[in-house]
Structure 1
Amino acid sequence: MNFATILRAPVSRRAWVELAYVLVSTPLAALGFGYVVATLVLGAGLAVTAAGFPLLAAGLVGARRIGGLHRWLAGRFLGERIEAPARPVATPGPLGRMQARLSDTAGWRTMGHLLLKLPVVALQVYVLALTWVWGVILVTRPLQNALDLNQGAPGSHPLFDNGALMFVGGVALLFLAPWAVHVATIPDRMLARWLLGRRGLQERVRDLEETRARAVDDAAATLRRIERDLHDGAQVRLIALTMQLTMVRDAVADDAARALVDTARATAREAVVELRELVRGIHPPSLDHGLDTALTTLAARSTVPVETEIALSARPTAAIESIAYFCAAELLANVAKHSGATRVRLSVAQDGDRLCLRVHDDGRGGAAPGTGSGLSGLLDRVRTVDGRLDVSSPPGGPTVVTVELPSHA
């Protein structure tokens, strides 16, 4: 720091920006403090009624928004770039959303910030008044004396009548003011970093989980759109082409031409069959009606008799339904190809926010990931959503494969 920097301090951009920050954030701090106190008092007072906890949950949402405004002010005026904390992950339904908000640690930290912000701002206002305000008053003291503005003022002292001395003291305060206000904003910066931003590995992991869930859901939606485009577009046109070729065959009399049309028609039919298999592999149409319907349909097509036991209390997300379906399809295909089983039991159940799919057969056993049974591919598939694959297949059987998935990716 050189002498020129000290001389420019009272007119520097940083000095005026920090001064503006204190002036702007002071009423917001008072508003936030009153908001938190009212929320806590009303929430605690009404806790014995049905309105208490919903009010507290709504209060946490509002506190997050006020905290977002404080975060924006800190970035705009103080240059503090604070990353917003991740939003709480809620299960479907009003009760799930309320529970997620009440357990939102970032929301409670924001409440703490709004409570502590007021005394921090009070310190800043005190420093601002002691330096900027008194500096301006003392610098203008000679002018006040010349205009007789302070004659007979209560509490006057002969020392204050010394205009030159007051002017020098005021100039000293004005040069000190930018540095004093800057120091006074340090607790504010620290408070915002600790309480308004992301904190710890847990929140970053949650953010990554949310990002992954969105990516998985987007991929599932994209595959579903591709399936519909193929089903309603290319497949329909191929069927129309097959019908038109049939009409052409009936319209021509030349045997050679009819043979060529027959070949083209057979090729078109093969393309329709292959396209149907491709569509079924991308997104089975039966999944549109729910996982239970899709698995029942899948079991009915199995070459080995399948007993189904499906109990779903809530419908999983589309991505989870797709993963569960293809796991079941691969496991039933393995039973038919490798196990020599005569019966299979397919069960699906939900335990909290987890989905458990189990395939039990009476085959010869010996199945394990990496032995050509396709289980390695299933393991990679379920890992994309933090699922778990467990295989119990002693020699001689039976084989039990359990797939655990989150109900929501």
Structure 2
Amino acid sequence: MPRTDKPQPPRWSPLAAALRAPVDGVTWRALGYVVVGTVLGVLAISYLYLAVISSVVLAVTLVGIPLAAGYVALAREWGRLYRWLARTLLRIDVSEPDGFRRRQGALATIGGALSDRVGWRALAFLLLNSVVAVCGGYLALMLVAVAAVAVLSPLIWWIGDPINTDSEGVAHHSFVQFGDFYFDSAAKLLLLAAGGALVLFFVAPWPIRGVAALGGILTRWLLGSSPADARVRQLERSRSGAVEDAAATLRRVERDLHDGTQARLVTIGMTLGRAQEKLDAGEDAGELVAVAHATTKDSIRELRDLVRGIHPPALDLGLGPALETLTARNVIPTQLSVHMTGRPSPGVETIAYFCVAELLTNVGRHSGATTCRVEVDGDDRWLRLAVHDDGRGGAETGAGSGLAGLTSRVETVDGSLTVHSPAGGPTTVTVDLPTEGVR
């Protein structure tokens, strides 16, 4: 159910794409990537050859082991270089892998380098990409070179005045020949130049793009963070957000108890103590007892509100009835639509409830809206909440925004929060939550 609304690039017809290829920036960036990649591919082959030979030969002297660890660690720098090339020339986003964690002691550091998955993946990239870059790049660039020479052949023929002799000893004023066919006239060379121009401008860009695209795929696949690493980082962020949220809740509860309920209970105790003194002295203590009674009711009300802030009692009946109560109390007229085929887990219901509560509060305080609508759709896997308002818009999830806190809370269960709020409105905030929490 989660979605990402990303702008899609314009789609060109095959004919339009072919006509644009010679002047398209993608082609020229791909050409730069192929040229640089071919040179780097030759250097990478030399690096791999040196790494294998020196490590294997010196392994019997135990020098090869730390040497191999150094080659694996240095492969990270190759990966950094290729990621930079991919971002700069191919304009693709390659996520950074985890950094190398140094350990205490030389042996531990060597062992860590030898078991470094990022370094070994970089070595695998160098091996595969060298084949692609050197072989594919050579063929693509050779096609460009041959086509360029064909385009310039009339000028070279006119300036160079070349003479070729066939098998029968007959001289031909020719620069290019195919078997016994000689391009020995201006008309033939102009025809060759026209064919070369077609190949150079409308055929050659596609092999170049293909080699560059394959290099980009290898870069993203082997030099970016693996799905497991990305998942670990997501879980670490979720755990950190959950810990911070729990700590903030505990601090709030402690503050409310200390500043509110505890102070009232102390006042009740002092008031009852004074009432006891008056009763012992035979005086009327009714007024003090009434004050203590009123303070007791206020304390009970504060405790009820405090408990409601931790887990709303309305959720005991389910998310739908809880949201009905919440939207009915909203200061802005709010419509509620609920379509759920199952009931989420208690933790997800609590997060969903507080998300809607916070979003409705933001609508009332900051949007200037006159109407609001809450839509809830859920199945056995995902729960989607959407809060729409007709306010002024401009809502953002940047630092310091309440939406940033909601995003952190939603991510603790692998959910997502998206905001669509152009200037002038309207605003739509969508929250997607897995019905069973963290997956």
After TM superposition, the score normalised by the length of structure 1 is 0.47
